[in-house]
Chain A
Amino acid sequence: MKLLKVLLVFAFAALLGACSGGKKGDNLDANSSGVKDGINQSSSIYPWEDPNNPLYNRVVYFEYDKADVKEEGRATIETHSKYLAANPNQRIRLEGHADERGSREYNIGLGERRSQAVRRLMLFQGVADRQLETVSYGEEKPQVEGHDESSWSQNRRVEITYVK
Chain B
Amino acid sequence: MNKLNRLLVFLFVLTISAGSNAALDIYIGEGSTGDIPITIVPFKISGSAPHNASKIIEDDLKRSGKFDVRSVPGGQQAGSSAELQAEAFKQAKITNVVVGTVSKTGSGYQIKVELVNVFGGKVVVKEVKIAVGKNFRRKTHEISNAIYKALTGIEGVFDTKIAYVRVTKKRRGVKSYALVVADFDGFDPRAVRTSPYPIMSPSWAPTGNRLAYVAFKKTGHTAIHVQNIGTGRRYVVSASKGINGAPAWSPDGSRLALTLSKVGNPEIYVFNLRSRRLRRMTVNGAIDTEATWAPDGRSIIFTSDRSGGPQLYRVGIGGGKTSRVTFSGKYNARATISPDGKKIAMVHAVGGRYSIAVKSGGETNVVTAGRLDESPNFAPNGEMLIYASEYNHRGVLFTVSADGKTKVRLSSQSGGDIREPAWGPKRK
Contact A109 B266 (CB under 8 A): yes
Q: A106-B289, A108-B243 are in contact. List 12 more A-B contacts (CB 8 A).
A: A93-B220, A103-B310, A103-B374, A104-B201, A104-B334, A105-B200, A105-B259, A106-B303, A109-B261, A109-B265, A113-B265, A136-B220
Is B212 interfacial (CB-CB < 8 Å)?
A: no
Contact A116 B264 (CB under 8 A): yes
Among A8-16, A26-34, A94-102, the stretch that binds chain B is A94-102
Cα–Cα, bound, A110→B261 (Å): 12
Contact B242 A106 (CB under 8 A): no
Which residue of chain A is the closest to B334 with respect to CB atoms? A103
Contact with B along A76-115 (1 / 0, CB 8 A): 0000000000000000010100001111111011101100
Using known A-B contacts A113-B287, A134-B242, determine if residue A105 contacts B372 with beta carbons closer than 8 Å: no
Cα–Cα, bound, A137→B347 (Å): 20
Residues of A within 8 A of B222 (CB): 135
Is B290 interfacial (CB-CB < 8 Å)?
A: yes
Number of interface residues of A (CB under 8 A): 24
Say which residue of B219, B221, B246, B305 sits within 8 Å of A105 (CB atoms).
B246
Residues of A within 8 A of B289 (CB): 105-106, 108-109
Is B420 interfacial (CB-CB < 8 Å)?
A: yes
Which residue of chain A is the closest to B349 with respect to CB atoms? A102
Name the 8 nearest CB pairs between A and B, nearest first.
A135-B220, A109-B287, A103-B334, A140-B198, A103-B333, A105-B246, A109-B266, A105-B289
Residues of A within 8 A of B259 (CB): 105, 108-109
Is B233 interfacial (CB-CB < 8 Å)?
A: no
Is A49 interfacial (CB-CB < 8 Å)?
A: no
A–B complex contacts, Cβ < 8 Å, 12 sampled: A65-B309, A102-B354, A103-B334, A105-B246, A105-B289, A108-B200, A108-B259, A134-B242, A136-B220, A136-B243, A140-B198, A140-B216
Which residue of chain B is the closest to A138 with respect to CB atoms? B200
Is A147 interfacial (CB-CB < 8 Å)?
A: yes
Using known A-B contacts A110-B287, A141-B198, determine if residue A104 contacts B374 with beta carbons closer than 8 Å: yes
Residues of A within 8 A of B264 (CB): 116
Contact A105 B354 (CB under 8 A): no
Contact B243 A147 (CB under 8 A): no
Cα–Cα, bound, A103→B372 (Å): 9
Using known A-B contacts A112-B266, A140-B216, A147-B390, determine if residue A106 contacts B198 with beta carbons closer than 8 Å: no
Number of interface residues of B (CB under 8 A): 38
Residues 321 to 339 of chain B near chain A (Cβ within 8 Å): 331, 333-334
Contact A104 B200 (CB under 8 A): yes
Using known A-B contacts A65-B309, A93-B220, A140-B198, determine if residue A104 contacts B375 with beta carbons closer than 8 Å: yes
Residues of A within 8 A of B375 (CB): 103-104
Is B421 interfacial (CB-CB < 8 Å)?
A: no
Which residue of chain B is the closest to A141 with respect to CB atoms? B198
Cα–Cα, bound, A103→B201 (Å): 11
Residues 176 to 227 of chain B near chain A (Cβ within 8 Å): 198, 200-201, 216, 219-222
Residues of A within 8 A of B287 (CB): 106, 109-110, 113
Which residue of chain B is the closest to A159 with respect to CB atoms? B220
Contact B220 A95 (CB under 8 A): yes
Residues of A within 8 A of B (CB): 65, 93, 95, 100-106, 108-110, 112-113, 116, 134-138, 140-141, 147
CB distance from A131 to the nearest CB of B (A): 15
Say which residue of B220, B393, B420 sits within 8 Å of A147 (CB atoms).
B393
Residues of A within 8 A of B310 (CB): 102-103, 106
Residues of B within 8 A of A136 (CB): 220, 243
Residues of A within 8 A of B334 (CB): 103-106
Contact B303 A103 (CB under 8 A): yes
Using known A-B contacts A135-B220, A137-B198, A147-B393, determine if residue A102 contacts B245 with beta carbons closer than 8 Å: no
Using known A-B contacts A140-B198, A140-B216, determine if residue A106 contacts B290 with beta carbons closer than 8 Å: yes
Cα–Cα, bound, A108→B246 (Å): 10
Please indicate which of the listed interface residues A65, A102, A103 has the most CB atoms of chain B within 10 Å of its own CB. Answer: A103
Residues of B within 8 A of A140 (CB): 198, 200, 216
Residues of B within 8 A of A135 (CB): 219-222
Which residue of chain B is the closest to A67 with respect to CB atoms? B287
Contact A147 B200 (CB under 8 A): no
Using known A-B contacts A103-B333, A105-B290, A109-B243, determine if residue A147 contacts B372 with beta carbons closer than 8 Å: yes
CB distance from A162 to the nearest CB of B (A): 13
Residues of B within 8 A of A113 (CB): 265, 287
Residues of A within 8 A of B245 (CB): 105, 108
Residues of B within 8 A of A100 (CB): 372
CB distance from B21 to the nearest CB of A (A): 27
Residues of A within 8 A of B261 (CB): 109, 112
Cα–Cα, bound, A116→B259 (Å): 17
CB distance from B237 to the nearest CB of A (A): 16
Contact A102 B331 (CB under 8 A): yes
Which residue of chain A is the closest to B290 with respect to CB atoms? A105
Residues of B within 8 A of A105 (CB): 200-201, 245-246, 259, 289-290, 303, 334
CB distance from A67 to the nearest CB of B (A): 10
CB distance from A107 to the nearest CB of B (A): 9
CB distance from A164 to the nearest CB of B (A): 12
Residues of A within 8 A of B246 (CB): 105, 108
